[in-house]
């Protein structure tokens, strides 16, 4: 005989009541226990099954909060059903109270050994039944809580290990990058120290120049490392003011013109007639634009152009998570376009990561830390702006920076 469960899964989920599955081959026992549970102050929902096999099916489908299971039943005994349910991942955590008519403690022992939470002797006393049901449900709820907590802790632990790993990696790369220029400085200083009497003064000057170059590399790297650290510690202090973005970008363009000319690169700058006021941190904006222009000059071969354009018609990127086309904010758009090597799709994915020195190499012996764009991305996000790159391998790259317009 197949006994239909007395409620559906959705009913089960929609109310907060506990559901108990009562398994007994004798109908009068099922009815008696069910009645006690239904009329208890907790008003338990009750499912019933006449044998172990049906009980297993119902338990798998409905995941009751507790099972009360008779021992001796046809088809599949209570003990067999208990073992079956405890072996399965989906039903393992459902507490089971065994009903036993036998007085023997051997039975009690084998039930508890097989994973039963508790046992009740037949005939069942109403008060004892409810007390044991409450205790088993409470215990199981604490168990579930502890299990969830330990899963959360495990996850946190995993994240901490990953973070620690990333920090170590970061430290390793930073130390490695500092070691080369430091070794250079040390070697060059030793040459000056041991050969000062025999060296012509021009050569000493050259050596001092090389020492300065190495020191500059180190200063740049340390500055980048401090920026990354400040970003990760949440220590970027925004000093937002209203300023004309065209003037700021113009200053950066002018400061790079000389360097571009040295590489025979022409730096073009176009901007609208009107002043374009943005509300952002001017120093950070300058740092971001400087990074983008310096990259364009650094990675372009000679005899190419770099175009810096400011336009008034930026629209918040529809891909941005917090944006829907209709509510997109008006943005000022700053493009830095070069005619350099561009980049592959693979490189594009890593572009804004830390220490990502990719396929493109500096074309004029410039230094590369691979930190610039990760700093750019973070600074722009702090200022509620957007930055991304559009590029096809072999066909140059365009970096687009958008900053919110003053309302």
Ligand X SMILES: Nc1ncnc2c1ncn2[C@@H]1O[C@H](COP(=O)(O)OP(=O)(O)O)[C@@H](O)[C@H]1O
Contact residues toward ligand X (CB under 6 A) are 291, 295-296, 299, 338, 340-341, 343, 351, 356-358, 360, 368-374, 397
404 interacts with, out of Mg ion, ligand X, none, CB within 5 to 8 A per kind:
none
Residue closer to ligand X, measured from CB, 73 or 375? 375
Cβ 301 to Mg ion shortest distance, Å = 17
Cβ 220 to ligand X shortest distance, Å = 8
Give the contacts of 331 (CB within 8 A, at least 6 positions apart). 314, 315, 316, 385, 386, 402, 403, 404, 405
Residue closer to Mg ion, measured from CB, 29 or 291? 291
Give the contacts of 243 (CB within 8 A, at least 6 positions apart). 277, 278, 280, 282
Q: Please tell me whether residue 295 binds Mg ion under the rule CB under 5 A.
A: yes
Cβ 87 to ligand X shortest distance, Å = 54
The bridge status of strand 330-338 relative to strand 305-315 is antiparallel
Binding mask 357-396 for Mg ion (x = CB under 5 A): ---------------x------------------------
355 interacts with, out of Mg ion, ligand X, none, CB within 5 to 8 A per kind:
none
Residue closer to ligand X, measured from CB, 135 or 356? 356
Contact segment (CB under 5 A) with Mg ion among 95-103, 186-194, 236-244, 295-303 equals 295-303
Q: Please tell me whether residue 340 binds Mg ion under the rule CB under 5 A.
A: no
213 interacts with, out of ligand X, Mg ion, none, CB within 5 to 8 A per kind:
none
Give the contacts of 34 (CB within 8 A, at least 6 positions apart). 22, 46, 48
Cβ 377 to ligand X shortest distance, Å = 9
Torsions phi, psi for 7 (to 5 deg)? -150, 160
Residue closer to ligand X, measured from CB, 243 or 299? 299
Let me know: does 371 contact 225? Beta carbons within 8 Å.
Answer: yes
Contact segment (CB under 5 A) with Mg ion among 51-59, 190-198, 217-225, 291-299 equals 291-299
Where along the sequence are the contacts to Mg ion (CB under 5 A)? 295, 372
């Amino acid at each position: 005989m197949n006994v239909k469960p007395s409620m559906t899964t959705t009913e089960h989920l929609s109310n907060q009541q506990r559901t108990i599955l009562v398994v007994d081959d004798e109908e009068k026992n099922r009815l008696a226990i069910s009645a006690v549970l239904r009329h208890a102050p907790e008003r338990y929902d009750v499912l019933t099954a006449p044998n172990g096999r049906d009980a297993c099916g119902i338990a798998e489908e409905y995941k009751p909060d507790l099972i009360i299971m008779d021992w001796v039943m046809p088809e599949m005994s209570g003990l067999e059903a208990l073992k079956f349910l405890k072996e399965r991942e989906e039903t393992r955590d459902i507490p089971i109270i065994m009903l036993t008519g036998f007085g023997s403690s051997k039975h009690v022992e084998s039930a508890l050994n097989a994973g039963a939470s508790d046992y009740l002797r037949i005939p069942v006393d109403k008060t004892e039944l409810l007390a044991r049901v409450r205790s088993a449900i409470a215990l199981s709820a604490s168990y579930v809580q502890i299990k969830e907590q330990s899963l959360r802790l495990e996850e946190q632990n995993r994240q901490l290990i990953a973070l620690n790993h990333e920090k170590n990696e970061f430290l390793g790369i930073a130390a490695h990058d500092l070691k080369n220029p430091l070794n250079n400085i040390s070697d060059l200083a030793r040459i000056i120290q041991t050969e000062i009497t025999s060296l012509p003064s021009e050569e000493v000057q050259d050596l001092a120049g090389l020492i300065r170059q190495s020191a500059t590399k180190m200063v740049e790297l340390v500055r980048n490392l401090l920026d990354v650290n400040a970003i990760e510690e949440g220590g970027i202090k925004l000093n937002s003011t209203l300023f004309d973005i065209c003037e700021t970008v113009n200053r950066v363009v002018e400061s790079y013109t000389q360097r571009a000319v040295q590489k025979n690169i022409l730096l073009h700058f176009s901007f609208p007639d009107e002043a374009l006021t943005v509300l952002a941190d001017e120093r950070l904006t300058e740092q971001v634009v400087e990074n983008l222009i310096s990259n364009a000059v650094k990675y372009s071969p000679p005899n190419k152009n770099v175009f810096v354009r400011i336009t008034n018609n930026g629209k918040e990127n529809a891909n941005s998570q917090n944006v829907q086309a209709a509510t997109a904010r008006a943005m000022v758009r700053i493009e830095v376009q070069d005619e350099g090597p561009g980049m592959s799709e693979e490189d594009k994915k890593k572009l804004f990561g830390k220490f990502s020195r990719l396929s493109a190499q500096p074309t004029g012996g410039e230094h590369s830390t691979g930190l610039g764009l990760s700093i750019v991305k973070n600074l722009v996000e702090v200022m509620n702006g957007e930055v991304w790159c559009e590029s096809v391998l072999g066909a140059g790259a365009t970096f687009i920076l958008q900053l919110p317009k003053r309302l």
